[in-house]
Structure 1
Amino acid sequence: MNNHESLRQLVHDARAPLNRISMNAELVKLVLENDMPKEKALAALDKIIANCQQCSEQLQQISDTHTSD
């Protein structure tokens, strides 16, 4: 895999947690708007936090890979 393909893969991998963050934020919004159990909102917020951390790690990997060239 060349550097360009490697960078594309890393960016693709970083998008996955961003998509999960967006999806879980929408779930929290629905829970709050529809008076659903707060446990669902709390579980979604835990997923958002975990995915933010994963995204941060992926971005660090992109930075490390890109600056090591």
Structure 2
Amino acid sequence: MTSDNQTEQLNKLVHDARAPLNRISMNAELIKLVLENDMPKEKALDALDKIINNCQQCSESLQKITDSK
């Protein structure tokens, strides 16, 4: 594999790991809004489920980066 291909592959893996982190941040903000505005508890619980799922996706993406070495 050439250096350019390795860089491209690494950039894709980092992008794949960054996407769930962005979703985690977005859902944490949603929970904050729910708590600040007395919105239904179910919205916060749904956001927490999404955060947990995205943490797992991020972990899997980081493992792929480790495995690609």
Structure 2-normalised TM-score?
Answer: 0.93
Q: Number of residues paired by the alignment? A: 66
Cα distance in 1 for partners of 2:55, 2:12 equals 18
Cα RMSD over matched residues?
A: 0.9
The percent identity for this pair of structures is 79
Question: Which structure 1 segments of 5+ residues have no match?
Answer: none
Residue 13 of structure 1 deviates from its aligned partner by 0.8
Partner of 2:40: 37
Pick one of 56, 61, 65 that aligns with 1:58. 61
Q: Which runs of 4+ in 1 moved over 3 A?
A: none
Q: TM-score, normalised by structure 1?
A: 0.93
SS at match of 2:8: helix
